[in-house]
Amino acid sequence: MAIIDPRHAAKQLIYERVFRAATLCAAILVLLILGGVAISLLRGAWPALQHFGFAFVEREIWNPVTDEYGALAPIYGTVLTSVIAMLLAVPAGFGIALFLTELCPPLLKRPIGVAVELLAAVPSIIFGIWGLFVLAPVLQRYVQPWLIAHLGGLPVAGALFKGPPYGIGLLTAGVVLAIMVLPFIAATMRDVFDTVPQMLKESGYGLGATTWEVMWNVVVPHSRVGIVGGIMLGLGRALGETMAVTFVIGNAHRITASLLAPGTTISSTIANEFTEAVGDLYTSSLIALGLLLFLITFSVIAAAQAMLRRLERRAGVAV
Amino acid sequence: MSTFSKSIIKRLTVMTVAATLSAAAAAVDISGAGATFPYPIYAKWADAYKKLTGVGLNYQSIGSGGGIKQIKAKTVTFGASDMPLKPDDLKAAGLLQFPMIIGGVVPVVNVKGIQAGQLRLDGAIVAGIYLGDITQWNDPKIKALNPKLALPGTAIAPVYRSDGSGTNFLFTDYLSKSSAKFNSSIGANASVQWPAGIGAKGNEGVANMTTQTDGAIGYVEYAYAKQNKMAYTLLTNKSGAVVAPSAESFQAAAAGADWAKADSYYLILTDQAGANSWPITGASFILLYKQPSDAASVGEALKFFAWAYKDGASMAAELDYVPLPATLIAQVKKTWTTEITSGGHPLWSGT
């Protein structure tokens, strides 16, 4: 008597194959979609790239009247606001995750954890309107005048805090972005910190290490892949965020040293101008901006992967 | 005409349309896409018209640029644009355009001690402000127009619309006509490269930035300025008269314009002469094919437009849009009769 019924086994085999094919299809679909996006962006952007050549990414001008376009100001704004957001959100997210996993009294753990996750569920338009109606006036009345008075006079760094306090601008956009990406970074970091085996941490404490030492020497090295993943998730969102930024960045195609000045980002330019863009070169230039954002995001992710691989190799040697 | 007989006619219309529909055995919905500026009134008309006739209007307010693309791709019955297309472009595409509704753009300010309707400006000064040439409220040029007002030395903060819009087009077109420097260095478009100031998104963004910032000047659609009770300014028009923004001054600008001579209704209503003409007035346009492939839906669309001209005027006024003057409506209908045909027969034969 057979242990396995052959009919049953044949059925299982078919199930197995179908399941394998289905997952393969799903995986290939992602590649197809990504390839399709890249191809259609390239096709749409081609007239502009052909017309302006490499100068498209070098020039600051963006003039729909004379049909002359350059992407430097949006690229600058995109990168700068994302950098501000990461500078604010990564330490804060790290702090939240550390507190929640190591220091938080059990009673508070759930409410704070849920609050962080709820922050991620707020639609971006709400952040935009809040930024415009609540945050911008506060920055304009209290924070920016202080920055201008106390930091505007510094050599070199002072240039970052010059100009009239408009309330909206690159700094405000960076702050709003920081709040928006914070839950992603904090939640991811908390989850990876939780995966660190309790025994490792207790060994650290057993050797007389402080909380900070355990955190820095045990938890962080053990979960660095997850930490970098969380930061990249946040950075990806910050680079591509559209609506909230459009409301608070001031939408000026200019590059100014001051963080208080209005600027623009790639996605907010597209959101602002695509609907009323008449003329092939104009539309094509906007699509070319989209292509650039695609490339920037892609290279950020590629750089993160490369960094992780290097970290891993070094860790391997150390052991 | 009494309300009673009006309602009888309405009911008769419903019955006629219903009869036509049952003969055609299918309710033809009209589809359109384009300009965002007239969207509130088109939506209100569509709702009222659907209740009356059963014919629905599906209007996508995706922006004028999108509307032009959609009608050229023939995915909609009509396109709508806040900027008139040039006669050559229309001919090349086989399209016809006509004005549907009028609106105005109003400069608003936030200067201490200045109430709505007190400050007088003209095109050259507003252009100077947006060029960054005039930077303080007590500038001699502003003072010269307002000898009785106590103007503070506050810095002027110009606020502009960052999203491409018909409002931007009208405003920059007016400034281009008023200032040679603005015309040569910036020009008129739905989006332009502003040399100074800060960009806010939408009417609400501009209104908010203006109210929040001391010394700010912005520009919003009339309905927005009126409903939010913002401090609008007066403007000196082409004839040298000082006018306030109102439905009457917008209509005066539209009525004073020489539509009869304008090829394909290619006429931008800014900076019109006339004692009552508000200088930043504009019409929103409809685009249709002259020989439509889908004659039935274009016929329905024309019926809708005719109804909107006639019965939609009061609804337009409620939303602070301005209906077209009667002479212009008659001219547009004549154009429909002579130019929109299907198999050699005019699609519109009404009045």
pLDDT at B12 over 80: no
Nearest CA-CA partner of B43 in B287, B289, B312: B312
Chain B residues within 8 A of A77 when measuring between CB atoms: none
Arithmetic mean of pLDDT, B39-62 = 90
Q: How far is CA A21 from each of CA A11, A12, A13, A34, A204, rounded to the nearest angstrom? A: 15, 14, 12, 20, 47
Q: What b/e readout covers A14-29, taking b as 16+ CB neighbours within 10 angstroms?
A: eeeeeeeeeeeeeeee
Per-residue pLDDT of chain A (319 residues; tens, 9 = 90+): 556 788 888 888 899 999 999 999 999 999 999 999 999 999 999 999 999 999 999 999 998 888 899 999 999 999 999 999 999 999 999 999 989 988 888 899 889 989 988 988 999 999 999 998 899 989 988 898 888 888 888 888 888 888 778 888 999 999 999 999 999 999 999 999 988 999 999 999 999 999 889 988 899 888 888 888 889 889 989 999 998 999 999 888 889 888 988 999 999 999 988 877 878 899 999 999 999 999 999 998 888 888 888 877 876 654 4
Residues B186, A65: C-beta atoms closer than 8 Å = yes
Please give the structure tokens belonging to residue B146: 């307002």
Residue A210's φ and ψ, nearest 5 degrees, are: -80, 170
B194 → closest Cβ in A167, A252, A275: A252
Give the ipTM of the model, two decimals please: 0.74
Please give the structure tokens belonging to residue A295: 């490339």
Instruction: Tell me which of B24 and A49 has the higher pLDDT.
Output: A49
pLDDT at B14 over 80: no
B201 → closest Cβ in A169, A246, A277: A246
pLDDT at B23 over 50: no
- How far does the CA of residue B65 sit from the closest CA of chain A (Å)? 4
Evaluate whether A263 touches A169 at the Cβ level (below 8 Å).
Answer: yes
Chain B residues within 8 A of A133 when measuring between CB atoms: 208
Q: In whole angstroms, give the CA distance from residue A272 to residue A286.
A: 10
pLDDT at B5 over 60: no
In the prediction, which pLDDT does B22 show?
Answer: 44
Which residue of chain A has the CA closest to B187? A65
- How far does the CA of residue B166 sit from the closest CA of chain A (Å)? 8
pLDDT at B1 over 60: no
Instruction: Indicate the residue type of B200.
Output: A
Instruction: Indicate the residue type of B59.
Output: Y
| CB of A82 less than 8 A from some CB of B | no
Which residue of chain B has the CA closest to A63? B193
Residues B193, A247: C-beta atoms closer than 8 Å = no
Let me know if B154 is exposed, middle or buried by CB neighbors in 10 A (0-12, 13-18, 19+): middle
Over the stretch B268-327, which tens digit does the pLDDT of each residue have? 889 998 899 999 999 999 999 999 988 888 999 999 999 999 999 899 988 888 888 888
Chain A residues within 8 A of B165 when measuring between CB atoms: 276
Nearest CA-CA partner of A237 in A191, A283, A187, A281: A187
In the prediction, which pLDDT does B6 show?
Answer: 54
B65 → closest Cβ in A137, A253, A275: A275
Q: In whole angstroms, give the CA distance from residue B255 to residue A159.
A: 53
pLDDT at B153 over 80: yes
- How far does the CA of residue B129 sit from the closest CA of chain A (Å)? 16
Nearest CA-CA partner of B162 in A61, A134, A248, A126: A248
Looking at residue B213, the DSSP 8-state letter turns out to be S
Chain B residues within 8 A of A258 when measuring between CB atoms: none
Query: Three-state SS for B30?
Result: strand
CB atoms within 10 A of CB B303: 20
Let me know if B251 is exposed, middle or buried by CB neighbors in 10 A (0-12, 13-18, 19+): buried
Q: Please, which residues 223-282 of chain A have a Cβ atom closer than 8 Å to chain B?
A: 246-247, 250-253, 262, 264, 268, 271-278
Residues B64, A64: C-beta atoms closer than 8 Å = no
Q: Please, which residues 4-63 of chain B have a Cβ atom closer than 8 Å to chain A?
A: 36, 62-63
In the prediction, which pLDDT does B19 show?
Answer: 45
> Could you write out the DSSP letters of every residue in B64-132?
HHHHHHHHHTT-SSEEEESSPPPHHHHHHHTEEEEEEEEEEEEEEEE-TT--TTT-EEEHHHHHHHHHT
In the prediction, which pLDDT does B122 show?
Answer: 94
Residues A167, B212: C-beta atoms closer than 8 Å = yes
pLDDT confidence band for B349 (50 / 70 / 90): confident
- How far does the CA of residue A108 sit from the closest CA of chain B (Å)? 39
Q: Which residue of B167, B198, B209, B210 is the best one to mutate when testing the A interface, meaning the one whose CB has the most A CBs within 10 A?
A: B198
Residues B208, A262: C-beta atoms closer than 8 Å = no
- How far does the CA of residue A115 sit from the closest CA of chain B (Å)? 29
In the prediction, which pLDDT does A318 show?
Answer: 47
Nearest CA-CA partner of B171 in B123, B125, B210: B123
- On average, the pLDDT of chain B sits at 87
pLDDT confidence band for B9 (50 / 70 / 90): low
